[in-house]
Amino acid sequence: MKIAVCIKRVPEMDVKFRIAASGKAVDEMGLKWDMSDFDGYAVEAALQMVEKLGTGEVVVISLGPDAAQEVLRKALSMGATRAVHLKSDQVPFDSAAIATALAAELKDGGYDLIMFGKMAIDSASGATGVIVGETLGLPTVHGCTKLEITNGKGSARRELEGGAEEVTFPLPAVVTIDEGIARPRYPSLKGIMAAKKKPMDTRPAQLGTVRVTVDAMALPPERAAGRIIGEGAAAVPELVRLLQTEAKVL
């Protein structure tokens, strides 16, 4: 069984972001980077599937600058078989353009299953995987919270508002992965050492025409400092009022 997993290098989200001088991107100074969360679940799910079958390979692919190789190495240290780096110094905010490059790479790969995270946690579009699936003309399931492949057929569960769907589909197929499917394993030192020797191919990314660009990036308005609004049950009406009008969570 041959599985491809497309992953993206994104910044750690638990920081106070600053806007770069250009006003069109975040300031990368001091940022730490990792694989996008959902991509991590996808890689883990792929590794578990191949382990369960006892045979197969997991190929990880990433489109991005040279630094994208870091997340490919991480996937290799988790146990992926080999990596492909589609080199592109800029990663546009254009899901369709990226999907074109990925589809071109995946088309002749002979993959039984192509996996994506349901969305990249930085650009948060959630469209690239599905566009790739449609472009390749393959059955596509978006947002799987459960996934199983048995005898060349896939079954998955996806969450929708007010419920969930259990679906089946033939292979080859494209799936995008949601939370809850698998917890990414912690690479052992052994895995990290082995990853250094696994194959990583680099080729230029063949992006589609870029039609979506960034006009500006800005920080949303600051969160007001917290305060104690009162004592005892008497403070409840004021709390409810604030939650409704100020915080707008009710």
Q: Which stretch binds other proteins (CB under 8 A): 45-53, 54-62, 65-73, 140-148?
A: 140-148
From 48, 155, 202, 206, residue interacting with other proteins (rule: CB under 8 A): 155
Between residues 134 and 201, which has the closer beta carbon with respect to other proteins? 134
Q: Which is nearer to other proteins, 121 or 200 (CB)?
A: 121
Q: Which residue has the tokens 């692919």?
A: 61
When asked if residue 53 is in the footprint of other proteins (CB under 8 A), the reply is: no
User: In this structure, are residues 182 and 39 in contact, taking their beta carbons and an 8 Å threshold?
Assistant: no
Least CB distance to other proteins at residue 99 (A): 7
Least distance between other proteins and beta carbon 177 (Å): 14
> Can you name the residues that pair with 113 across neighbouring β-strands?
3, 173
| Residue 61, both tokens | 């692919």
Choose between 15 and 53: whose C-beta lies nearer to other proteins.
15
CB 167 within 8 A of CB 153: no
Which single residue is written with the structure tokens 């290098």?
9
Cβ neighbours of residue 223 closer than 8 Å, sequence gap 6 or more: none
CA distance 202 to 122: 23
**Contact map string, positions 187 to 226, toward other proteins, x by CB under 8 A:** xxxxxx------------------xxxxxxxxxx--xx-x
> Hey, which residues between 162 and 191 contact other proteins (CB under 8 A)?
162-170, 179-180, 183, 185-191
Sign for the pseudo-dihedral over CA of 24, 30, 32, 33: positive
Give yes or no for residue 250 binding other proteins (CB under 8 A). yes
According to the binding rule CB under 8 A, does residue 67 interact with other proteins? no
Nearest to 168 by CA among 151, 180, 191: 151
97 forms part of the interface with other proteins (CB under 8 A): yes
